[in-house]
Amino acid sequence: RCGYVAIVGRPNVGKSTLLNHILGQKLAITSRKPQTTRHNMLGIKTEGNVQAVYVDTPGLHKKSDKALNRYMNRSASAALKDVDVVIFVVDRNRWTEEDQLVLERVQYVQGPVIIAVNKTDRLDEKGDLIPHLSWLQEQLPNAEVVPISAQQGHNLDTLERLVAERL
């Protein structure tokens, strides 16, 4: 089995960190600064008879006149077409207007969507996504939800298994 997997989400949710951890190498640039990833990055993970081509997208941004933002939006939107699985990364304790914009695009995706609730290692922080999560699931009724920590590697085996099952 093989196929394309798009990793989407607003800037700073941890998309590049996730890809790096899945691949076990530093391929995508991660940073606190938004817009560190300017181009779609590809990473190939082969395990047994499963080959997944991951696409790390530059983040979907608010509509803007800036040419760079327009370009980044185009690349991210293009990544959503012709993919077999979409991983929608959200931050467990921060939902913003930009997440909403990504959600609206993900709702158009025909294929399987997995919601990865990231940064679950931040257990000490209050105001988590949990009250929001049931609402989010209603918006994407066919999506599977998996809590992860991209940084610590928590639950990424589950995420990869869910991806492989949907390729």
Residue numbers of the site for Mg ion (CB under 5 A)?
Answer: 15-16, 37
Does the footprint of ligand GDP cover residue 147 (CB under 6 A)? no
58 is in an annotated binding site: yes
Among 6, 8, 17, 109, binds ligand GDP (CB under 6 A): 17
Candidate ranges 9-17, 109-117, 130-138, 158-166; the one touching ligand GDP (CB under 6 A):
9-17
> What is the enclosing helix (H) or strand (E) of 163?
helix 156-166
| CA atoms lying within 13 Å on the CB side of residue 87 | 35
13 is in an annotated binding site: yes
The dihedrals phi and psi of 37, each to the nearest 5 degrees, come to -95, 110
Evaluate whether 10 touches 59 at the Cβ level (below 8 Å): yes
Q: How far apart are CA 33 and CA 50, in angstroms?
A: 34
Candidate ranges 10-18, 47-55, 77-85, 100-108; the one touching ligand GDP (CB under 6 A):
10-18
Evaluate whether 140 touches 104 at the Cβ level (below 8 Å): no
**Residues that constitute the known binding site:** 9-16, 56-60, 118-121
Question: Which residues in this chain contact ligand GDP in the complex, by CB under 6 A?
Answer: 9, 11-17, 30-32, 36-37, 59, 118-119, 121-122, 149-151
